[in-house]
Amino acid sequence: MSTTTMKELYKEERPYEKCVKAGAAALSDAELLAVVMRTGTRGENACQLAGRILSLPGCEGLKGLNRISMERLMDVRGIGQVKAVQLKCVAELAARMAKAKAAERLAFDTPETIADYFMEELRYAEQEQLHVLFLNTRNKLLKEKLMFQGTVNASLVSPREIFMEALECRAVRMVLVHNHPSGDAAPSPEDIRMTRRIYKAGEMLGIQLLDHIIIGDHCYSSFQERGILSEE
């Protein structure tokens, strides 16, 4: 099958040439993807193919690339395994860059900064994940660990495993972070039961649970801010 390459575009339409002349910030989302993919398909240049990908149901722009599976991408005419891998890697790179940038201003006593740190990683996750941040007496991060994945609730999450990790790294404080794939960050009754169970276990062991932050789609809930961390 013949393809339309970057060289076959008119010079003023080439995203590569445009980037050299005006910088990457001058490129549209489709043009940025076109530079990564390099080639289009029969009767369609790389920019047109990129635009079609960004218009896929469930994708709707760059923000949705993390949500689209490789298999779904490979169903698109003109996208084989190589291009699908390229696109997924670009999406993952963007998410990691956003997380690294958020880490520069991360304050563990400020729920908003913790939510920013995890937002791009967790708001696209299709399953619930429970991450635990283990801190020292100065609220410095000793360790971050994904503790549970799947259904995160009071009956399935084991405080024992969490506190074994805390004792191993000599943590004295912790923050729980987990996501709601539905996009709604409001805590469920199960979330509240699980959190209070861990909070009480921590009191007995002298390890303070500072907060439980739930990540939704561009939103978050903080038990500390809501004042429900240790209420009966």
**pLDDT per residue over 36-93, tens digit each?**
888 888 888 888 898 888 888 877 677 778 778 889 899 989 999 999 999 889 888 8
Same domain, 87 and 116: no
| pLDDT(12) > 60 | no
CA separation, residue 200 to residues 5, 161, 174, 196, 230 (Å): 62, 15, 13, 6, 8
Q: Which of 97, 118, 142 is the last residue of a domain?
A: 97
Same domain, 55 and 110: no
Same domain, 199 and 145: yes
Same domain, 89 and 198: no
Tally of domains within the chain? 2
Compute the mean pLDDT over every residue in the chain, rounded to the nearest whole number. 85
Tokens in use for 95?
């998410």
Q: Which of 97, 130, 150 is the last residue of a domain?
A: 97
Between 141 and 103, the higher pLDDT residue:
141
Same domain, 109 and 140: yes
Other Cβ atoms within 10 Å of 166 Cβ, number:
24
Tokens in use for 119?
């937002």
Residue 232, domain member (yes or no): no
Same domain, 121 and 222: yes
Residue 231, domain member (yes or no): no
Q: Which of 97, 129, 151 is the last residue of a domain?
A: 97
Residue 61, domain member (yes or no): yes
Other Cβ atoms within 10 Å of 140 Cβ, number:
9
User: Given this model, what pLDDT does residue 43 score?
Assistant: 84
pLDDT digits (tens, 9 = 90+) for 134-187: 999 888 888 889 998 887 766 678 899 999 999 999 999 999 999 999 999 999
Same domain, 217 and 133: yes
User: Given this model, what pLDDT does residue 170 score?
Assistant: 95
pLDDT digits (tens, 9 = 90+) for 204-215: 999 999 999 999
Q: Is the pTM of this model over 0.95?
A: no
Same domain, 45 and 110: no
Residue 123, domain member (yes or no): yes
The domain in which residue 135 lies consists of: 105-226
Which CATH number does the domain housing residue 116 bear? 3.40.140.10
